[in-house]
Structure 1
Amino acid sequence: MATATLSNTDRLRELGTAPIGKILLKYSLPAVVGTVVSAIYNIIDSIVIGHAIDDPNVVSGIAVTFPVMTLVTALGMLIGAGAATRVSIVLGQNDKKMAETILGNCVQLTLIIGIVYVGAFSMFIDPILKMFGASPNTLPYAREFMLWVLPGCVLQNLTFSYNNVMRASGYPGKAMYTNMIGAGVNAVLAPLFLFGFHWGIRGAAIATDIAMLITAFFVMSHFFNKKNTLHFVKGTFRLQWRVIKSVLYIGMAPFLINVAGSGINAIINNTLYSYGGDNAIAAVVVFNRFVTIFVFVIIGICQGMQPIVGYNYGSGRHSRLFHTLWLAAGSAVVISTIGSIVGAVFPRQIASMFMQDEAQITCAVNCLHYTTIMFWMVGFQIVATNFFQALGMAGKAIFLSLTRQIIFMIPMLLILPPHMGLNGVWAAFPVSDTAATIVTASLLFFQIRKIKAAKNA
């Protein structure tokens, strides 16, 4: 049966009956396309800014904004990822009323949190950026970009939250179009505002804001349509603590991943500035943007995996649960291995895409040599962490999300740079990847045995 002819009931039933390979591809492919397109337009932004503005400090200035934008993303995931997982589980339990209650509650929650953080970030933007590694040379660029892009971030959070729920409720293709629309708008407007209107870094931020507005309108209009599987229902917008608590509990794992990532970025940026100056911070832009492509493909696989795992866990179909996990994990390892190989073979070509200054390029090449050595492990680690999240096991997902950034990365940043200099910062990446993957594999296999034992009891 073609997707276009599926009834709302059939959309949910196929999560528990269709062949795993087929249904994982159906849900993951649109998610992969959507996330990769989103990654590409972020990469295009960096490329355009790096070549449109003739000042090497602009690349470092953009790098300083990454931790702040990561915090914004974290707040979106706190609600979006939690809502999508809870919706999948309750739909697997045939509780559509609760799914619609989650849907309504999350609108107000997203807007309240968004208004609070936009106001707070705007008031304290300079000290925040300095904390994340801004120098006197890079602060003006970082400040200008953030002040213009912050208002649109609330729309970004709204889009992220409801795009995930759209996918979880049986519309993976439409969720893909959401990302494609935003990416297309931004890819057209950013070069126009930078090269055509000569608006500088402000133009890139305005292009992003417009893209966020259009995508938010598109995704929210889906849930105002009463013909869709889930839609907004009168009486579900009043905040209910038990609903909010269940969403935030699950969303806490990806939230903490990103908060930890933001904190680690601040530590990394400040450490890099101490050992390599602004050029070293610029090198992180190259690494982050390069691995983003591969990480976003893996995240797309996880997004496709999440409703299948959540639905089958909720309905007690454990064999389908594990089949989905191993297929997703194997695919993710292949993707991250490709990233390792490309980063090792073409570091100069990759760096030259984002910057013009030779000193920055040389530093970025050295960065890629170190940081991509063990990147092939990252695919498994991301899928395993998201598997726990999809099961609603937020505590274990939170623990795994913190192993790399907090438990291993911070000690490595304290131990290695004093002995190895700038290379010690780069070396902390593969060491942390390896240690975190070992811990993740151990916990995953233990949990699988526990689920199987409970089923046979």
Structure 2
Amino acid sequence: MESNNKMSDNKQAALALGTKPVGQLLWQYALPAIVAMTASSLYNIIDRAMIGQIVGPEAIAGLGITFPFMNLSAAFGAAVGVGSSASISVKLGQKDYKVAQNLLGNTVTLNLIIGFLFMAISLVFLDPILRFFGASDVTLPYAREFMIVILLGNMVTHMYFGLNAVLRAAGKPKLAMYSVLFTVAMNIVLVLTFVWWFRWGIRGAALATVTSQTLAMCWQLRLFSNKKELLHFKRGMFKLKADLVKNIVAIGVSPFLMNATSCVIVIFMNNQFVHYGGDMAVGAYSIANSVVMMFFMFVMGVCQGMQPIVGYNYGAEKYDRMLRCLFMAIGCATAILLVGWGLSMLFPRQIARIFTTDETLINLSARGIKLDMLVFFVVGSQAVITHFFQSIGKVKVSIFLSLSRQLFLLLPMAFVFPMFWDLDGVWYSMPASDFGSFAMTIPMLMWYMKKFKSVDVKSEEL
């Protein structure tokens, strides 16, 4: 009896996505995600600051070389995590609980397979890959030491992020937040222990990351083992089903391409910075990238909060609620990035000093932060709209918007601009591509809005 009541409560939590006021829902779902992402950003800042202050500026540059690896790993994780969570949200909106359950099982299996294959292939070819990513004789040892530990824990990382995405889709945003907060808190404690106390260097930072994610994943597995939950593990659900995998991949291909393209871009940018400014320029790019991601994580929290609401109401054909949620999310994201833009324009040197005491690196980073974030306030709406199309399964549109900034604009600009402005040209390419992708995204949204509104009018007439 108690089990049935628990199941009924979980179904009610999912049904609330289509009935509660949209603003209240967005606050309910986005706030935990924002808190979690903010905590994650704080960890990344502390992690890089500890490495920069204790290990040295060369280690920061070496860490920057690993960004493409992290993006590529995230690409495969996102393909499964975002694809499955968006599919689950839509199925819950359609009240198809059996398929939603099987999607959870297929998410676990895909994460294990992909995580293992990525780890094995990357470890075999680690040094050549890092060289290709822009590592020099100075930065290669740091990058290698960090990535060996991260790759050994790759299956855990994929599983951890995938299950957290499913928690949000299943109407458990607070549990997803607790998972991230626990990971971040444990990360900070372990980084202080391994890097500052034991002096294990950059390897200690990687070990702290993998250990904290492993502990959080164990807790997630326990949650999904509870038979009282609407979505829980049971026999037979882990066998891959072609139609479900196809659905996950169809939606997940957009975030995969976005992250994979980020990998290509960071490789290219690292090589451009090495060519025009040397290892210290790569270190400055690493610092500027950390600052950008710190504020952008807030926006990702808004996007994650929006996703189950949009997906559910799209599945339930409640397009007016879906669009209301979208516009509220755009407003939140833009306001957040305006704050980030203001702080970066006013205090770039103070921000750079968090990561290093080296004056050369501080000067390069301060200028890089200002140039990189020149039009940062327009990025939020582009990110929210791209995630919106992911959430409703509009794969081709989402892919186009995902690739527009990085592949179609940033890559050619980062190649051409340095011919005119040297090192500054590499920095200029980033705000120019930000504004260009924003200008491409708005007309696309307006066109789709007309389609949704026309469907609503027809349904009212009937």
Q: TM-score range by the shorter chain?
A: over 0.9
| Matching residue of 1:26 | 28
CA distance in 2, matches of 1:147, 1:160: 20
| Matching residue of 1:185 | 186
List gaps (5 residues or longer) in structure 2: 1-5
CA distance in 2, matches of 1:369, 1:200: 30
Within a 5 Å distance, the mapping from 1:64-103 to structure 2 comes to 64-103=65-104
1:245-274 deviations in whole A, cap 9, x for unaligned? 100110111111110011000000000100
1:386-434 deviations in whole A, cap 9, x for unaligned? 0000111111111100000000001101210011000000000111001
Answer whether contact 2:116 2:154 (CA < 8 A) is retained: no
SS across alignment from 1:405: helix
Answer whether contact 2:75 2:260 (CA < 8 A) is retained: yes
- Residue 205 (structure 1) shift: 1.2
CA distance in 2, matches of 1:79, 1:184: 26
Residues 419 and 165 from structure 1, CA distance in 2 versus in 1: closer, same or farther, beyond 3 angstroms?
same
TM-score normalised according to structure 2 size: 0.96
| Matching residue of 1:104 | 105
CA distance in 1, matches of 2:413, 2:8: 52
Answer whether contact 1:159 1:220 (CA < 8 A) is retained: no
| Matching residue of 1:395 | 396
Percent identity at matched positions? Answer: 40
CA distance in 1, matches of 2:289, 2:147: 18
| Matching residue of 1:301 | 302
SS across alignment from 1:231: coil
List gaps (5 residues or longer) in structure 1: none
Matched, 1:260 2:261: yes
| Matching residue of 1:150 | 151
Within a 5 Å distance, the mapping from 1:102-141 to structure 2 comes to 102-141=103-142
Name whichever of 259-268 and 33-42 sits farther off: 33-42
Answer whether contact 1:110 1:157 (CA < 8 A) is retained: yes
| Amino acid corresponding to residue 334 of structure 1 in structure 2 | A
Answer whether contact 1:32 1:299 (CA < 8 A) is retained: yes
Answer whether contact 1:153 1:212 (CA < 8 A) is retained: no
CA distance in 2, matches of 1:419, 1:295: 30
Answer whether contact 1:41 1:183 (CA < 8 A) is retained: yes
SS across alignment from 2:357: coil
CA distance in 1, matches of 2:248, 2:234: 18
CA distance in 2, matches of 1:6, 1:28: 24
Residues 346 and 5 from structure 1, CA distance in 2 versus in 1: closer, same or farther, beyond 3 angstroms?
farther
- Residue 456 (structure 1) shift: 3.0
Answer whether contact 2:64 2:285 (CA < 8 A) is retained: yes
Matched, 1:324 2:330: no
CA distance in 1, matches of 2:414, 2:176: 39
- Residue 454 (structure 1) shift: 3.0
- Residue 66 (structure 1) shift: 0.8
CA distance in 1, matches of 2:165, 2:149: 26
| Amino acid corresponding to residue 180 of structure 2 in structure 1 | N
Answer whether contact 2:320 2:456 (CA < 8 A) is retained: no
| Amino acid corresponding to residue 147 of structure 2 in structure 1 | M
| Matching residue of 1:339 | 340
| Matching residue of 1:312 | 313
- Residue 455 (structure 1) shift: 3.2
Answer whether contact 1:170 1:229 (CA < 8 A) is retained: no
CA distance in 1, matches of 2:104, 2:7: 25
CA distance in 2, matches of 1:316, 1:56: 53
Matched, 1:353 2:354: yes
CA distance in 2, matches of 1:318, 1:194: 50
CA distance in 2, matches of 1:434, 1:293: 20
| Matching residue of 2:452 | 451
CA distance in 1, matches of 2:155, 2:8: 33
CA distance in 1, matches of 2:218, 2:379: 34
- Residue 153 (structure 1) shift: 2.1
1:130-178 deviations in whole A, cap 9, x for unaligned? 1111111100000011011211121111011110111111111000001
Answer whether contact 2:349 2:362 (CA < 8 A) is retained: yes
| Amino acid corresponding to residue 337 of structure 2 in structure 1 | S
CA distance in 2, matches of 1:294, 1:409: 20
In the alignment of these two chains, the number of paired residues is 453
Answer whether contact 2:93 2:312 (CA < 8 A) is retained: yes
Within a 5 Å distance, the mapping from 1:219-230 to structure 2 comes to 219-230=220-231
CA distance in 2, matches of 1:60, 1:376: 27
RMSD between superposed Cα atoms in Å: 1.2
CA distance in 1, matches of 2:329, 2:179: 23
1:1-33 deviations in whole A, cap 9, x for unaligned? xxx998112101110111111111000000111
Matched, 1:213 2:214: yes
CA distance in 2, matches of 1:134, 1:93: 49
- Residue 452 (structure 1) shift: 1.6
1:78-123 deviations in whole A, cap 9, x for unaligned? 1000000000000000000000110111111110111101001101
CA distance in 2, matches of 1:96, 1:28: 24
CA distance in 1, matches of 2:386, 2:330: 11
Name whichever of 427-436 and 195-204 sits farther off: 195-204
CA distance in 2, matches of 1:101, 1:430: 43
Answer whether contact 2:7 2:229 (CA < 8 A) is retained: no
SS across alignment from 2:289: helix
- Residue 293 (structure 1) shift: 1.9
| Amino acid corresponding to residue 369 of structure 2 in structure 1 | L
CA distance in 1, matches of 2:349, 2:250: 43
| Matching residue of 2:49 | 47
SS across alignment from 1:28: helix
CA distance in 1, matches of 2:250, 2:287: 34
CA distance in 1, matches of 2:392, 2:309: 10
Answer whether contact 2:126 2:144 (CA < 8 A) is retained: yes
- Residue 288 (structure 1) shift: 1.3
CA distance in 1, matches of 2:263, 2:294: 19
CA distance in 1, matches of 2:175, 2:7: 14
| Matching residue of 2:14 | 12
| Amino acid corresponding to residue 18 of structure 1 in structure 2 | K
CA distance in 1, matches of 2:201, 2:309: 44
| Matching residue of 2:249 | 248
CA distance in 2, matches of 1:352, 1:386: 34
